[in-house]
Amino acid sequence: MRVTYIGHATLLIEIGGKTILTDPNFDSSLGLVLARVSAPGIALADLPKLDMIVLTHAHADHLSFRSLAKLQHVPLFAPPVIARWIRRKGVAQAIDLGPGESTTSGSVTVHAEAASHSGTRYLVDRWRRQANMYLFDTNEESVFFAGDTALRDDSTGMVMQVLEDRRLDVALLPIGYAPAWKVGFKHGHLTSADALTLFERLNARYFVPYHWGTFNHVTASADDAIRELRQQVKSHSRGADVRILNPGEFIDVTPAFL
């Protein structure tokens, strides 16, 4: 199994003979003012043949219509309200996959669960707030992709229920940074410290952070969160199992029983 960090929440997951792309965003900026600060680790034109795309929610940093327009041949799974919306906007291959549902491609089963995040695109469109997180499992290898989510008591529920007595191989978790005055940030996001806590609760073999190093935001630079995480892992008991990937870098993981 291989996981490659392309940038922000866009990762390439190769598992069970299938190639999966998460939240594809290859844009040069977010809107008109928030420039991309690092090139995608793999150019959109250089992607390998994809078997599947998963979308977590409608925020512009996770859902790029310009990127999807160049990936129209690939089956795409998304929360039902998002799938219906983007089908109306011309993304004909979008397929509903709601919380508690799953789909199978070859040996890979994709499980969806609700994330603790409001994914409204335009602030006022509360009907579009649905957000997913995903577990990819072959019964031998597993990857959890959290999209955007907050730390909640039930954040590990899907993983523990599906894997039962098996150990999660890779936790792909977002890390965020917000100034102290932004008190609502943790209601829908993981800080770097929260991500480490969720990593511990999941008992994953490895933690790969994303959502950093790609776009500057209004209240944080692209590297604030990873700077904090790098400091925290120095004294963390599982620091050696945190794999920080720059865009284009990857981690290869063999099944635990080999």
Over residues 223-247, the pLDDT tens digits come to 999 999 999 999 999 999 999 999 9
DSSP assignments along the chain, one per residue: -EEEEEETTEEEEEETTEEEEES----SEETTTEEB-S--SS-GGG----SEEE-----TTT--HHHHTT-TTS-EEE-HHHHHHHHHTT-TTEEE--TT-EEEETTEEEEEEE-S----SSSS-GGG---EEEEEE-SS-EEEE--S----TTTTHHHHHHHTTSPP-EEEEE-B---TT-TTGGGT--BHHHHHHHHHHHT-SEEEEES-SSB--SSS-TTHHHHHHHHHHTS-TTGGGB----TT-EEE---TT-
Domain range list for the chain = 2-252
- pLDDT of the residue at 182: 85
Per residue in 70-116, pLDDT tens?
Answer: 999 999 999 999 999 999 999 999 999 999 999 999 999 999 999 99
Q: Which of 5, 38, 106, 26 is nearest to 68 (CA)?
A: 26
Looking at domain 2-252, its CATH superfamily turns out to be Ribonuclease Z/Hydroxyacylglutathione hydrolase-like (3.60.15.10)
Assign 156 a pLDDT band (cuts: 50, 70, 90).
very high
Provide the pLDDT confidence category of residue 179 given band limits of 50, 70 and 90: confident
Percent of the chain with pLDDT over 70: 97
Measured in whole angstroms, the distance separating CA 161 from the mean position of its chain's CA atoms is 20
pLDDT at 258 over 70: no
Q: Is the pLDDT of residue 129 over 80?
A: no
Is the pLDDT reported for residue 171 higher than 70?
Answer: yes
Arithmetic mean of pLDDT, 117-121: 77
Give the model's pLDDT for residue 185: 85
Confidence (pTM): 0.96
Mean confidence (pLDDT) of the chain = 94
Q: Which residues contact 36 (CB under 8 A, 6 or more apart)?
A: 7, 27, 28, 29, 30, 214, 215
